[in-house]
Amino acid sequence: MSEAHSEAVEEVARRHAEVRERLVAMSALLREMKSRAAVQEARDDSERAPYAAALGELAEFFTKDVCELMRLEEEALFPPVGRDLNEIGGPVAALEIEHEELRHLIREFAQAVGAWSCGESDRGSIASVLVSCAERLRDLLRVHIEKEEAVLFRLIPRVFTRADARRARACVRLWRSKMKALALMVFGGGVGILFGTVAFAQQGTKSMERQFAVQGEIRTRWEGRWGELLGQPFQIGVRDAYLLTRVRVGVDVRPTRWLRLFLQGQDAQAMGFRADPDPPIVEDTFDMRQAYVEVFNRERRGFGLQIGRQELCFGDERLLGAFDWGNTARAFDALRVFYAWPKSRVDVFAASVVVIEDGAFNRHRAGENLYGIYGSFQGVIPEAVVEGYTLWRTRPRVVGERGQLGDADVVTVGTRWAGALPAAFEYRVEIAGQLGRWARERVRAWALHTQLSYRAASAPVSPRVLIEYNQASGDRDPTDGRRETFDQLFPTNHDKYGIADVVGWQNMRNVRVGVWGRLNPRITAQLDYHSFWLASGRDALYGAGGTPIVRFSSADRTHIGQELDVDVRVALSRALALGTGYAHLFPGRFLKRAASGTSVTFAYTMLTYRF
């Protein structure tokens, strides 16, 4: 049985077990009611109340959970089995008829419970109807579950196609997402009610509106890729086109001047994506994206604390960012302590990146940790920001160049400068070095980013012209026990090294020339040219996510290619934004060797609504 088959069957079997437990409880309740005839005709609400409450819970379970279980079976399991057995008929048709009979009995049972609980005049006859209906419902459910497990579960592995498996997985994960969404809503609602009530009592309605806010985002993006699928090797003629959707809902509660609670849920889906199953970068059915508590004075100065699931974004996000372009984005389980001045701030944190696992609660992976100190200072140099950082990343059980197993401890030390120069020029510089160990190997790596730009504010479209150079070291000898490939950590790379996302900040050299302009108050456009080389021909080409895409034992020709990007953004309103872009990577000699005759094309159109 495949993973998708077993996932659907295991979910239905688990819910069958829940139904059996409720049937046992209902049988015990019916025996007690029948043995105490006075309960059936009780006129005293206090005597009837415990039974009414228990019956009400059963009626709600059958009406919601059992009916939803039947819908899941009808959408995911019945069609494939019915399709393959249509010549002989029988099992699926009989099960569908029993579903309709069960729905009728559930409605009848719920009505009888309501009538008896409300204390209608003829309680004795109503109780008889209730008991009779409950017994028929119990008996039919028991037999029906036995039929499904004896017949349906046996046939599913034989008849399921890959399309059936995808549909079953989607149905199961949709149900799980509803459960997670319900938990988040209950938690968020409880937090909101608790602190909203306190705030209202203390400050009044206007103050509460400032201290309690609901925010959200609905984003839809179509993407097309030709020549290279996301993070995979280059292939001539390969193509993919798909639709990505993302919904976020957040609750921001500030009950006092120094306390903030933030909760955010996210649902990310991919439709038409070529991979099966869809990778975590594009799909994660409703889960908790952020949930943290912040203790910090609203004047934004002094000591502060932030603990829980949160984003970590520093500098240009070349090493640490939320990767919001990605459909599932990125978050960390982290403890952050900081001290802020009016123009400066120092953060100290311990964190672990959250691993996306569709169909289950996302969580971090034990041993994969990130510790850091990051300082940002304005005014040290006129009209500039100076930043410095030390980041320590640990990973268990990595594999070295020679196949040795061990742990990784890598420290990144760096600085970033960004500021203004005379005559409307601006600059950005970031330098980072890495040392430590990877299994039994020494780590010695580095990276560089430099940019010089000029903004002509008096020109009609206020153009900003830039020239940029980026480099990250690669391994010059993959057998010498010395690891020289720079680790880009957890970046937001999409707008850094070409929007086609073919190249990351590892083993690369990149020259970029671009121009940005505001065509009118609502429309901006960016045009970029990139040229890419490998820093070392004996190391791999690494994608935007840091995954090696192509590797040769030795590459004399290191020119990857030249990329041309066009990116346009339109502010349709304060809440609604449209984006569209196109990129084409013309192959260099290295890429031609990897897949002769191929080139890479990427296009997208995105609509985002925020509230």
Please state, in angstroms and rounded to a whole number, the distance separating the CA atoms of residues 332 and 301: 24
Q: Does residue 568 have a pLDDT over 80? A: yes
Cα Rg of the chain (Å, integer) = 30
Q: Does residue 60 have a pLDDT over 90? A: no
* Higher pLDDT, residue 563 or 228: 563
| pLDDT at 85 (0 to 100) | 53
| pLDDT at 47 (0 to 100) | 65
Which positions ≥6 away from 451 have C-beta within 8 Å?
Answer: 427, 428, 429, 466, 467, 468, 469
Tell me what percent of the residues of the chain surpass a pLDDT of 90: 46
In this prediction, residue 199 has a pLDDT band, given cuts at 50, 70 and 90, of very low
Specify the range with the lowest mean pLDDT, choosing from 31-40, 281-290, 415-424, 555-564: 31-40
Task: Give residue for tokens 């020259």.
Answer: 511
Task: Give residue for tokens 């001047």.
Answer: 257
Which class for 154: exposed (0-12), middle (13-18), buried (19 or more C-beta within 10 A)? exposed
Pairing of strands 523-533, 548-550: unpaired
Sign of CA dihedral 594, 598, 599, 600: negative
Mean pLDDT over each residue of the chain, to the nearest integer: 85
In this prediction, residue 164 has a pLDDT band, given cuts at 50, 70 and 90, of low
Q: Does residue 464 have a pLDDT over 60? A: yes
**What are the DSSP calls for 339-380, one per residue?**
EE-SSEEEEEEEEEEEEP-TTS--EEPTT-EEEEEEEEEESS
Which pair of tokens denotes residue 301? 């100065």
pLDDT in tens, 72-86: 888 777 777 766 554
Pairing of strands 576-587, 600-610: antiparallel
* Higher pLDDT, residue 114 or 333: 333
Tell me what percent of the residues of the chain surpass a pLDDT of 70: 84
Specify the range with the lowest mean pLDDT, choosing from 37-51, 316-330, 419-433, 555-569: 37-51
Q: Does residue 461 have a pLDDT over 90? A: no
In this prediction, residue 89 has a pLDDT band, given cuts at 50, 70 and 90, of very low
Specify the range with the lowest mean pLDDT, choosing from 1-10, 314-323, 451-460: 1-10
**What are the DSSP calls for 416-485, one per residue?**
EEEEEETTTEEEEEEEEEEEEEETTEEEEEEEEEEEEEEE-TTSTT--EEEEEEEEE---S-TTSSEE-P
In this prediction, residue 504 has a pLDDT band, given cuts at 50, 70 and 90, of very high
Buried b (16+ CB within 10 A) or exposed e, 303-338: ebebebbbbbebbbbbbbbbbbbbbbbbbbbbebbb
Q: Report the pLDDT averaged over residues 341-351.
A: 94
Domains of the chain in sequence order: 3-160 (1.20.120.520), 183-224+238-378 (no CATH), 412-611 (2.40.160.100)
| pLDDT at 347 (0 to 100) | 97
Which positions ≥6 away from 561 have C-beta within 8 Å?
Answer: 531, 532, 585, 586, 587, 588, 590, 591, 599, 600
564: number of CA atoms within 13 Å, CB side? 4
In this prediction, residue 120 has a pLDDT band, given cuts at 50, 70 and 90, of low
Q: Does residue 17 have a pLDDT over 80? A: yes
Specify the range with the lowest mean pLDDT, choosing from 42-46, 495-499, 535-539: 42-46
pLDDT in tens, 26-48: 888 888 877 765 455 555 556 66
In this prediction, residue 206 has a pLDDT band, given cuts at 50, 70 and 90, of very low
| pLDDT at 230 (0 to 100) | 66
Residue 33: count other Cβ atoms within 10 Å of its Cβ.
19
Q: Report the pLDDT averaged over residues 160-166.
A: 68
Q: Does residue 1 have a pLDDT over 70? A: no
| pLDDT at 238 (0 to 100) | 80
Q: Report the pLDDT averaged over residues 531-538.
A: 95
Specify the range with the lowest mean pLDDT, choosing from 40-49, 124-133, 224-233, 370-379: 40-49
